Every structure is written in structure tokens, then in C-alpha cells.
């Protein structure tokens, strides 16, 4: 048993590590693909060069991010089988078809049109090229649709029946499985998060170049577009997040108890804890600072409504509350800062200082990576919060794992850590180098298309050229 529990722990660390690393890329490329489609559409409809320059500028970055997303994504699709084989056997009949639909409707679409999007501008013409860009953007969204449906089913399973052999089998309606109770909320919240993540990255790159040269027209354009996203989408995301929270309260109340630090039940209205130091061992929130009754008011719409705490849940059915308490606060804190930036940008726009307000540019620059942190913190909240289950309330994580020896998992985990930090670290460095170069007129494309259509980049590579310029 001892060796088994080590193997289980290693498998959990490996999944958490590989999925966290993986999700960084789609959370960026979902938004970036849409941004690219908007840029190309603006270019086609206005004929303004700056949109084409920006399109090509971000296409180079997209190509690297997308490649990293693809190779880390294939790892995920096999890891269900390698490390969570019992889960795969039991849940395969329900979630397998959804993942197969993801491959059929999203992955092929993205991959099939990516080649044309990256290298085909001179071969297929503007309209068809725009169509390819649209297909890639739509593909990223369809992919999010299916995989979030799978994840949501694991959080709030509905529409299945239990088979005699222990498998989850599809019930009479696939719609009941796909559109399970938490899915619409999780989909909206995650896709908006991806848009915001991208907006803040684009905003930071725009801010960086504005700090160096306020007259750079492309930098102005991208900064303005990003700040519109921040100002308009962040408030919507706040509402979406609140609704997602209420949905979680209805279907996974234990997760909310952990997020809110409610170790104890409150018979006459629960406070909203702003701060505190969660102490899982003693099952209490130390140094708590809270607003009385506000927790009940927000979740139950009644300041005096009684709320149960973790003390009503058996120990072996509780998630590790401290992690969730913190990760939730990190996410909400970053969301609040994003809202501040968005509003600030509106003020700046109104006072016609959007491109001249250095403090705003500095703040936007600092906020560049914030979306990634918020997205990972959000996923930690929801995934750790549904422990100890993989299929909520029905199949525990411990029961889901493959019968693997600990040394095998230790070796693979080590390999993943080494390879991911090296390979994706280098990729991130290349992206940062591209972002560090100012966008300019006559920007080169992903394939370095100025002399020859396809990647003659091998002979006259894009970066080298740009270096020659700068």
C-alpha cells in the first residue's frame, strides 16, 4: 500500500504539472487566434497597412505558442491512459466520445488550416487566407467547448448510468452529458479568461513599445485594442465568475467552503472572510478578518441564512482547503487589478491621454503575465477543490490510477520536468525576443515571406532580418 500511495502521489503531481504547463499555451492561443482573425478582418475591410503589420507581428508569436500547445496537448491525450487507466476504462464510454469529437471537429480543423494560415498568404489569396485564419480561430473555440464539457462532466456528472462492470455508461440523452450543470458557466468563464489573458499580453507588448516610442502607430493600435478588451470584458468576466461560483455552490458546496475558508458552520449568517491563514490541520481559519453576514448574503441572498462548513464533511471527503483558499484569492485579486486597469484606460481615453500616460503603460506592462497566473490559480481552485474525486462524488482519485510501479512514474515525472522547463522555457524566450522588437511597417510574416513565399526562412530568417533593421 505504501508504494502504491507514492506512485499515486507522483502520478497526481505529473498530471498537475503537465496540465498546468499545457494550459498556459491554449489560454493564450485561443485569444490570440481570435485577435489575429480580427486584425486580418480589419485589414481586409479598411485596407490599412498597420493591421496587416500587426497581423504578421503576432502571427510569428502565435506559431511558436501554437506549436508548444500542440506538443504538450498530445501528452495530455495519452496521459489519461498511461497514468489514469482505471478512470479511462470506467469513464471512457462517456467522455471518450466527447474527446473524439474534439479531435474530429477542432484539432483537424486547426491543424488542417494552420499551414495555410502560416505559409499560404501568397498562394491562396487574401479571402481564402482569411477563411483559413477564421477556421483556426473557430477550431480553438470548438476545442475549448468539448474539453470543458469533459471537465465539467467530471465535476458535475449527469446523464450517465452505472454499468454492471463498474463503467459509467451513456444514458438516453447525450445532451444531458454534454450540457451538464456546470458546463455553460465553466465554458464562458474559461473562454473569457483566455481572451483577457491575451488582451493583457497584447496590452503589455503595446505598452512596452509605447514607453520607448509613443509615436509607433502599430503599438498605439494594439494597446488601444487591448485596453478596449480589458475595459469591456473584465466586468463581464466578474459577472460570469460570480455566476460560476453560485453554480459551484449549488453543485459542489464543499469546494465553496474551502474557497471561503469556512471550516466552521454558521447557523445565523456566515461572514465573508477577506483574509486569514487557513490551518487545515486544526481545521480553522487563523487571524481571520471577515465582514459578518456578507458570505450568506452573497451566496444565499439572505444575511441570516445558515451555512454549513467543512466540519459537516467527513475528513476523507474534504479537499485540502488551504491551497484552494489561497488560489481563489490570487485569482480574484488579479481579476480586481484587471478591472482597475480597464477602468483606468477608459479615463485615459476620455482625457485623450491613452498613448501618453506613462504610469498606465507601466501598470499595463506589469500586468502582462497576470492572465496566466489567474488562469492557473483558477484551475487549481476548481481541480483541487473537487478532490478527492475524479468523477465528483462517484470515483475517487485514488481508485482512478494505473497499476504502475513508483519508479516508473518517478522517472517519467523527472523527464517531463526537465524537458518542459528546457523546451518551453526556450520557446518562451523566443516569444519574448519577438515581443521585444518594435512592430514596424512592412512587418515580415511567420514564414518570413518577403523574398519567397514558403520558409526560405532557412536562408533569410525572420529574426535575423529584423535584427538587421533594429
Partner 1 sequence: MNIDLTTIWAFIIAFAVFMYVVMDGFDLGIGILFPSFKPGHERSQAMNAIAPVWDGNETWLVLGGGGLMAAFPLAYAIILPATYPLIIAMLLGLVFRGVAFEYRWRDPSHERFWDFAFFAGSLVAALSQGMILGALLQGVAVEGRAYAGGWLDWLSPYSLLTGAGVVVGYALLGSCYLAMKLTGEAEDHAYRLAVWAALATLFLMGAVSLVTPFLESQYWDRWFTMPSLLFVAQVPLLTAIAFFALLRSIRKRRRYRPFLIALALFALGMAGLGISMWPYVVPDSITIWDAAAPERSQTFMLAGVALIMPLILAYTGWSYWVFRGKVGTEGYH
Per DSSP bridges, beta strands 395-396 and 389-391 are antiparallel
The Cα 237–Cα 189 span in angstroms is 7
Does residue 201 touch partner 1 according to CB under 8 A? no
Segment 354-383, which members bind partner 1 (CB under 8 A)? none
Q: Quick one: which of 170, 235, 320, 333 contacts partner 1 (CB under 8 A)?
A: 170
Does residue 74 touch partner 1 according to CB under 8 A? yes
Least distance (Å) between residue 236 CB and partner 1:
32
Does residue 80 touch partner 1 according to CB under 8 A? yes
Q: Quick one: which of 28, 43, 58, 119 contacts partner 1 (CB under 8 A)?
A: 119
Least distance (Å) between residue 230 CB and partner 1:
29
64 or 188: CB nearest partner 1? 64
Nearest to 28 by CA among 376, 382, 467: 376
Asked whether the CA dihedral 301, 324, 5, 74 is positive or negative, the reply is positive
Does residue 68 touch partner 1 according to CB under 8 A? yes
Q: What are phi and psi of 70, to 5 degrees?
A: -65, -50
Q: Quick one: which of 20, 82, 224, 279 contacts partner 1 (CB under 8 A)?
A: 82
**What is the end-to-end Cα distance of the chain in Å, rounded?**
62
Does residue 71 touch partner 1 according to CB under 8 A? yes
CB 309 within 8 A of CB 264: yes
Nearest to 88 by CA among 400, 323, 366, 297: 400
Angular region, 352: left φ>0, alpha ψ -120 to 50, beta rest: left
Least distance (Å) between residue 282 CB and partner 1:
39
Segment 415-434, which members bind partner 1 (CB under 8 A)? 415-416, 419, 423, 426-427, 430, 433-434
Does residue 111 touch partner 1 according to CB under 8 A? yes
Does residue 195 touch partner 1 according to CB under 8 A? no
Q: What 8-state DSSP symbol labels residue 279?
A: E
The Cα 368–Cα 118 span in angstroms is 25
Per DSSP bridges, beta strands 284-291 and 272-279 are antiparallel
Does residue 176 touch partner 1 according to CB under 8 A? no
Segment 207-266, which members bind partner 1 (CB under 8 A)? none
Least distance (Å) between residue 83 CB and partner 1:
8
Q: Quick one: which of 2, 45, 78, 352 contacts partner 1 (CB under 8 A)?
A: 78
Stretch that binds partner 1, among 76-84, 198-206, 245-253, 265-273 (CB under 8 A): 76-84
Does residue 23 touch partner 1 according to CB under 8 A? no
214 or 433: CB nearest partner 1? 433
Per rule CB under 8 A, count of chain residues that contact partner 1:
88
Q: Quick one: which of 20, 105, 265, 279 contacts partner 1 (CB under 8 A)?
A: 105
Q: Quick one: which of 37, 52, 54, 114 contacts partner 1 (CB under 8 A)?
A: 114
CB 368 within 8 A of CB 206: no
The Cα 470–Cα 461 span in angstroms is 15
CB 258 within 8 A of CB 319: yes
124 or 294: CB nearest partner 1? 124
* 388 preceded by a cis bond (ω within 30 of 0): yes
Segment 393-412, which members bind partner 1 (CB under 8 A)? 402-405, 407-408, 411-412
Q: Where are the beta strands (DSSP E) in 115-270?
A: 160-162, 168-170
Does residue 143 touch partner 1 according to CB under 8 A? no
Q: Mask of contacts with partner 1, 37-66, x by CB under 8 A? A: --------------------------xx--
Asked whether the CA dihedral 308, 311, 317, 320 is positive or negative, the reply is positive
Nearest to 151 by CA among 62, 238, 22: 22
Amino acid at each position: 500500500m505504501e508504494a502504491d500511495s507514492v506512485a499515486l502521489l507522483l502520478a497526481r503531481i505529473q498530471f498537475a504539472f503537465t496540465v498546468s504547463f499545457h494550459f498556459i499555451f491554449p489560454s493564450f492561443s485561443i485569444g490570440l487566434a481570435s485577435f489575429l482573425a480580427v486584425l486580418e478582418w480589419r485589414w481586409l475591410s479598411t485596407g490599412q497597412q498597420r493591421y496587416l503589420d500587426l497581423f504578421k507581428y503576432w502571427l510569428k508569436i502565435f506559431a511558436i505558442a501554437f506549436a508548444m500547445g500542440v506538443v504538450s496537448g498530445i501528452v495530455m491525450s495519452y496521459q489519461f491512459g498511461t497514468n489514469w487507466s482505471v478512470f479511462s476504462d470506467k469513464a471512457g464510454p462517456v467522455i471518450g466520445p466527447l474527446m473524439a469529437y474534439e479531435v474530429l471537429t477542432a484539432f483537424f480543423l486547426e491543424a488542417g488550416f494552420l499551414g495555410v494560415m502560416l505559409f499560404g498568404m501568397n498562394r491562396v489569396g487574401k479571402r481564402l487566407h482569411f477563411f483559413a485564419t477564421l477556421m483556426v480561430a473557430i477550431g480553438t473555440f470548438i476545442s475549448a467547448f468539448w474539453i470543458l464539457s469533459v471537465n465539467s462532466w467530471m465535476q458535475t456528472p449527469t446523464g450517465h448510468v452505472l454499468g454492471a462492470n463498474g463503467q459509467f455508461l451513456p444514458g438516453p440523452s447525450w445532451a444531458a452529458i454534454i450540457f451538464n450543470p456546470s458546463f455553460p458557466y465553466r465554458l464562458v468563464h474559461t473562454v473569457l479568461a483566455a481572451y483577457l489573458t491575451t488582451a493583457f499580453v497584447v496590452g503589455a507588448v503595446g505598452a512596452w513599445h509605447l514607453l520607448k516610442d509613443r509615436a509607433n502607430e502599430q503599438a498605439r493600435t494594439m494597446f488601444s485594442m487591448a485596453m478596449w478588451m480589458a475595459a469591456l470584458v473584465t466586468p463581464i468576466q466578474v459577472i460570469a465568475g460570480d455566476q460560476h461560483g453560485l453554480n459551484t455552490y449549488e453543485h459542489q458546496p464543499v469546494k465553496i467552503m474551502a474557497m471561503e475558508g469556512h471550516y466552521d458552520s454558521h447557523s445565523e449568517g456566515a461572514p465573508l472572510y477577506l483574509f486569514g491563514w487557513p490551518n487545515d490541520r486544526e481545521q480553522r481559519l487563523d487571524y481571520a478578518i471577515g465582514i459578518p453576514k456578507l458570505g450568506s448574503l452573497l451566496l444565499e441572498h439572505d444575511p441570516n441564512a445558515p451555512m454549513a462548513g467543512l466540519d459537516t464533511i467527513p475528513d476523507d471527503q474534504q479537499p485540502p482547503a488551504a491551497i484552494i483558499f489561497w488560489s481563489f484569492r490570487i485569482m480574484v485579486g488579479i481579476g480586481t487589478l484587471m478591472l482597475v486597469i480597464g477602468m483606468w484606460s477608459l479615463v485615459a481615453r476620455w482625457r485623450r491621454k491613452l498613448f501618453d500616460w506613462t504610469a498606465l503603460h507601466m501598470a499595463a506592462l506589469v500586468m502582462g503575465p497576470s492572465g496566466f497566473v489567474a488562469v492557473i490559480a483558477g484551475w487549481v481552485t476548481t481541480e483541487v477543490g473537487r478532490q478527492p474525486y475524479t468523477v465528483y462524488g462517484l470515483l475517487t482519485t485514488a481508485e482512478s490510477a494505473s497499476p504502475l510501479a513508483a519508479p516508473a512514474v518517478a522517472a517519467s515525472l523527472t523527464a517531463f520536468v526537465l524537458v518542459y522547463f528546457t523546451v518551453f522555457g526556450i520557446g518562451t524566450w523566443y516569444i519574448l525576443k519577438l515581443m521585444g522588437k518594435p512592430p514596424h511597417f512592412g512587418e515580415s510574416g511567420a514564414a518570413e515571406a518577403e523574398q519567397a513565399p514558403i520558409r526560405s526562412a532557412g536562408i533569410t530568417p525572420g529574426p535575423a532580418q529584423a535584427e538587421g533593421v533594429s
